[in-house]
Structure 1
Amino acid sequence: MTRRYDAIVVGAGFGGMGAAIELKRLGLHDLLILEREDDLGGTWHVNRYPGLAVDIPSPTYSYSFEPNPHWSRLFAPGEELKRYAEHVAKKYGLRPLMRFGVTVTGARWQDDHWQVAAGGETFTARYLVTATGFLSMPRTPDIAGIESFRGEVVHTAAWKPVDLTGKRAGIIGTGATAVQLIPELARAASALTVFQRTPIWVSPKPDHPIPPRVRQLFTRLPFAQRAVRWLGNTILELMMISGVVHYKQLRVANRLAERWCRAHLHRQVRDPDLRRKLTPDYSFGCKRPTFSNDYFRTFTKPHVRLETSAVERIDEGGLVTAAGRTEIDVLVLATGFDLWDTNFPAFEVIGRDGKDLGKWWRHNRFQAYEGMTVPGFPNYLSLNSPYSYSGLSYFTTIECQMTHMRRLFTAMRSRGSTVFEVTQKANDEFLKRMRTKVTQNTVFSLGHCATAHSYYFNHHGEATLLRPTSTTSAHRAAARFPLSHYDFLV
């Protein structure tokens, strides 16, 4: 007979591990975690480009229940996040539950369980949790002639060692990844051309090594690190979130953030023409901002050039824009991820009565109750859903979702049930509330976002990725949502 797991979790990044930890706490120990990559860690396993680091303070970018007192810097480098993921998996007994190199191709609700097709096999489980990440499928730009380029081509999400000594490099993209990578490329290449479509808001990065004595203090007195985490969360909430989701009420916060970033740019770039090209023409928060102390300064170096004309085509030896042709030896693609086409969901999910989640989302708006559950899909938790992302730190979202799971499963058990499903009414009311908040309060509707080219917006022009509330509100909702919003079945 086919083995039936308590739950299948798709994805072995921090989201999937957080879900598995919560399920184990709830007494579900027969778990299977399926991961398409060859190891755990999600984005911190896949991304290995030079300069990779967390772009918010490390004490904030970690589980609150599993603080790491050993961060070497306030903004830890990528390899430390990978080690932290390995530590979490070991401490909470998750690695034995994981199967790597397995790509899930579909899932279907059948009577009272889920059937999951992956790697030529079919797995069954009572509960299905998808934690496939927002930023998981690299996007290759649709530029004529890119396949004809004879030099090396490397995408930031599929990085391979490249020797740039004495070579001319070109990079397409100026998002958060590129902000980290461009200074590193400039240090190695003999010439670097940056092809920019959309400039990015960049704030000074208060990064510095964490002295050993401070790390020792964090080890002996965990509450000291929790205090640092609280402070970091508060600053990020005020600086990066309040002026975005509460733009109508706190427009001054948004303007202060813009001025802070403009002042940073002005200090590092004296050339007014270059400064103009690097200044966004959209409101702060329409696109994810980031931190850096050397990004702007890199463009002042004599061997670095900023090209703002659109790339028209690529030939055997370079890139052609309206401004002319640029010969390069190495092409770096910092073009982000294919977010809306290949996610939501990341594979076919068929619920009750043959309901196709991907088609339903696209025909009826992207939506999920509290960013987690969908009517017509029993015993299904989608961690990377519309309106799920709360705050700048993904761990804020993860822990809200863990709290939601705890309340949901506890209520289900107290009723002697084994099946849960959010009601259509609760889902519709939540969607209406979120859409109203986006429309009436946020920078996405009230600011100037048309030129941001932000992945926050879906094909319909709706900003459905971020939850338009404070993180405090998100945590409160996760802990107190009405249990009547779910149907519980035996």
Structure 2
Amino acid sequence: MSTYDAIIVGAGFGGMGAAIQLNRLGYDNLLILERESDLGGTWHVNHYPGLAVDIPSATYSYSFEPNPGWSRLFAPGRELKRYAEHVADKYRLRRYMRFGTEVTGAVWDADRAQWTVSRRDGDPVTAKYLLTATGFLSQPRKPDIDGIDTFAGKVIHTTDWDDGYDLSGKRVAVIGTGATAVQLIPELAKVAAEMTVYQRTPIWVSPKPDLAVPPALRRAFAAVPLTQRIARWAGSAVLELMMVTGVLHYKQLPAANRLGERWCRAHLRRQIRDPELRRKLTPSYSFGCKRPTFSNDYYPTFTRDHVHLETTPIARIDATGIVTSDGGRRDIDVLVLATGFDLWEANFPAIEIIGRDGRDLGKWWRENRFQAYEGVTVPRFPNFISLNSPYSYSGLSYFTTIETQMRHMDRLFTAMRARGATEFEVTQHANDEFLGRMREKIGDSIFALGQCSAANSYYFNPHGEATLLRPSSTANAHREAGRFPLEDYSFAGKG
């Protein structure tokens, strides 16, 4: 049985960041297991028409590895995939990666003080440390609609897009109006003969300043990195105002939230003149209860003659079409599922993880509360780092979260080795104190004080608690990652 210093599950940006940090700490005997055929996580899996990053590109990269070559302010998905490949090559991470390897579970072996990781097609492997970087949005959700499996036409989920299938002249139905659909729907409308969008929950959409980045500016970014750092700071400041101030600090600064909502409402009014259509596209929940997005062409798509917005609930799907609860029927050729991901049921955690004394992480989270100290570690799970945990997501750029967790790892592993130890485990007291602090802070947010019941937001877990986002500023999260009390951990073993 092969043994490693650390096993990382997932070869997306989170997993690569963890590997880079472990290398910095002196660990080189690593194994990165990835179920997909290549690296890049969501930017490898997703390649639907219109795919692009939904925040300014300058903020969507490692701060220590900026990319001066983004072609647009909101870079298309293929550029994110190339950036992932660049990072893997520059930091020599491919040597650790094993693709097409599905991890089925991991068990802590207290006698040997190591993790045993099981693979669906392969022998188990062991490591001193286990890091899960499976991403927040990695388990596609298929809608639970009566008869969906009886549809005889073409079915495409956005996470498994069929690039070889021609939708030209087809009657297309799209289920879902989240951030993915906002990007996809305008592109499908260009080729479909007829398209019907089935909307359960509208989404807040703001203008998208999606400008091409002039070659001269790209050269300036490459020649003078400070210029790109300034652009990154500016983009981050806007996101911080929208998400952290307006959403998480709603009690203290409700005006910031109202500003975001009014900005989106004005955008909708400018683009949709029909009051009835505008009413259907206007969310009934508070701004920020669900992740907002940017688009200039989403709303105008619904004004085209061959595009229809259907807000009546779907009753069933049969071999040739969709029937709504009012008896309406529409025959279709293609069913597109833009229904997002199963975040809480299938992704927290994405694999079975058994810690000390047989504690099952998924079962424990569901029977108690979803919780993780600083969004990174969990009591009774020694030598375990969870990179997609409750209260870990900080800000709107995933890289903010990744680098905060890398900083936490640096302080934790450095302290462990300074003590001559090889094992770490967060104490129950520290975990409980952190959970209490987060629950108190979330009480100031839009999630507690706003109207979120109609949002159907993945921010909320099955208990109805908003435990995905960390209710603090990104600066605070980064600062605490480098200053948390070392006594919050117990250390054991001998190096």
Name the TM-score class by shorter chain: over 0.9
The aligned runs of 1:29-44 (5 Å cut-off) are 29-44=28-43
- In structure 1, C-alpha distance between the alignment counterparts of 2:346 and 2:167, rounded to whole Å: 32
- In structure 2, C-alpha distance between the alignment counterparts of 1:250 and 1:305, rounded to whole Å: 38
Residue matched to 1:175: 178
Which amino acid letter does the alignment assign opposite residue 422 of structure 1?
Answer: V
Residue matched to 2:142: 140
The aligned runs of 1:129-168 (5 Å cut-off) are 129-161=131-163, 162-168=165-171
1:293 aligns with 2:292: no
Residue matched to 1:338: 342
Moved more, 347-356 or 177-186: 347-356
| Partner SS state of residue 304, structure 2 | coil
309, 314, 328: which one pairs with 1:311?
A: 314
Residue matched to 1:65: 64
| Partner SS state of residue 33, structure 1 | strand
* TM-score scaled by length of structure 1: 0.99
- In structure 1, C-alpha distance between the alignment counterparts of 2:366 and 2:149, rounded to whole Å: 31
Which amino acid letter does the alignment assign opposite residue 415 of structure 1?
Answer: R
1:198 aligns with 2:201: yes
Residue matched to 1:413: 417
What displacement does 1:241 show?
2.3
CA displacement, residues 18-53 of structure 1 (integer Å, 9 cap, x when unaligned):
000000000000000000000000000000100000
| RMSD value, Cα | 0.7
- In structure 1, C-alpha distance between the alignment counterparts of 2:3 and 2:122, rounded to whole Å: 17
What displacement does 1:134 show?
1.0
What displacement does 1:3 show?
2.9
373, 390, 393: which one pairs with 2:394?
A: 390
1:243 aligns with 2:246: yes
Q: Is the 8 A contact 2:371 2:389 kept in 1?
A: yes
Which amino acid letter does the alignment assign opposite residue 128 of structure 2?
Answer: R
What displacement does 1:240 show?
2.7
| Partner SS state of residue 480, structure 1 | coil
- In structure 1, C-alpha distance between the alignment counterparts of 2:316 and 2:371, rounded to whole Å: 37
Residue matched to 2:91: 92
Which amino acid letter does the alignment assign opposite residue 115 of structure 2?
Answer: W
- In structure 1, C-alpha distance between the alignment counterparts of 2:238 and 2:156, rounded to whole Å: 36
- In structure 2, C-alpha distance between the alignment counterparts of 1:166 and 1:290, rounded to whole Å: 29
- In structure 2, C-alpha distance between the alignment counterparts of 1:42 and 1:369, rounded to whole Å: 25
- In structure 2, C-alpha distance between the alignment counterparts of 1:239 and 1:452, rounded to whole Å: 17
Which amino acid letter does the alignment assign opposite residue 363 of structure 2?
Answer: K
What displacement does 1:239 show?
2.0
* TM-score scaled by length of structure 2: 0.98
What displacement does 1:332 show?
0.2
Which amino acid letter does the alignment assign opposite residue 55 of structure 2?
Answer: I
1:363 aligns with 2:367: yes
| Partner SS state of residue 221, structure 2 | helix
- In structure 1, C-alpha distance between the alignment counterparts of 2:459 and 2:308, rounded to whole Å: 29
- In structure 2, C-alpha distance between the alignment counterparts of 1:480 and 1:31, rounded to whole Å: 27
- In structure 1, C-alpha distance between the alignment counterparts of 2:242 and 2:173, rounded to whole Å: 33
What displacement does 1:120 show?
2.8
| Partner SS state of residue 341, structure 1 | coil
| Partner SS state of residue 5, structure 1 | strand
- In structure 2, C-alpha distance between the alignment counterparts of 1:239 and 1:336, rounded to whole Å: 23
Residue matched to 2:114: 113
Which amino acid letter does the alignment assign opposite residue 327 of structure 1?
Answer: D
- In structure 1, C-alpha distance between the alignment counterparts of 2:243 and 2:108, rounded to whole Å: 40
- In structure 1, C-alpha distance between the alignment counterparts of 2:223 and 2:4, rounded to whole Å: 39
Which amino acid letter does the alignment assign opposite residue 361 of structure 2?
Answer: L
Which amino acid letter does the alignment assign opposite residue 417 of structure 2?
Answer: R
Which amino acid letter does the alignment assign opposite residue 17 of structure 2?
Answer: G
- In structure 2, C-alpha distance between the alignment counterparts of 1:489 and 1:395, rounded to whole Å: 31
The aligned runs of 1:178-257 (5 Å cut-off) are 178-257=181-260
- In structure 1, C-alpha distance between the alignment counterparts of 2:150 and 2:424, rounded to whole Å: 53
Residue matched to 1:480: 483
- In structure 2, C-alpha distance between the alignment counterparts of 1:147 and 1:107, rounded to whole Å: 33
Moved more, 320-329 or 422-431: 320-329
Residue matched to 1:21: 20
- Identity percentage over the alignment? 71
- In structure 2, C-alpha distance between the alignment counterparts of 1:222 and 1:203, rounded to whole Å: 29
Runs of 4+ in 1 over 4 A off after TM superposition: none
CA displacement, residues 260-314 of structure 1 (integer Å, 9 cap, x when unaligned):
0000000000000000000000000000000000000100111111000001100
- In structure 2, C-alpha distance between the alignment counterparts of 1:358 and 1:151, rounded to whole Å: 37
- In structure 1, C-alpha distance between the alignment counterparts of 2:43 and 2:60, rounded to whole Å: 12
What displacement does 1:322 show?
2.7
Q: Is the 8 A contact 2:244 2:471 kept in 1?
A: no
Residue matched to 1:433: 437
| Partner SS state of residue 124, structure 2 | strand
- In structure 2, C-alpha distance between the alignment counterparts of 1:167 and 1:415, rounded to whole Å: 66
Moved more, 229-238 or 113-122: 113-122
What displacement does 1:102 show?
0.4
Q: How many residues get paired?
A: 488
- In structure 2, C-alpha distance between the alignment counterparts of 1:116 and 1:123, rounded to whole Å: 5
The aligned runs of 1:452-467 (5 Å cut-off) are 452-467=455-470
- In structure 1, C-alpha distance between the alignment counterparts of 2:374 and 2:385, rounded to whole Å: 11
- In structure 2, C-alpha distance between the alignment counterparts of 1:241 and 1:157, rounded to whole Å: 29
CA displacement, residues 94-142 of structure 1 (integer Å, 9 cap, x when unaligned):
0011000001011011121111001331101000000001111111111
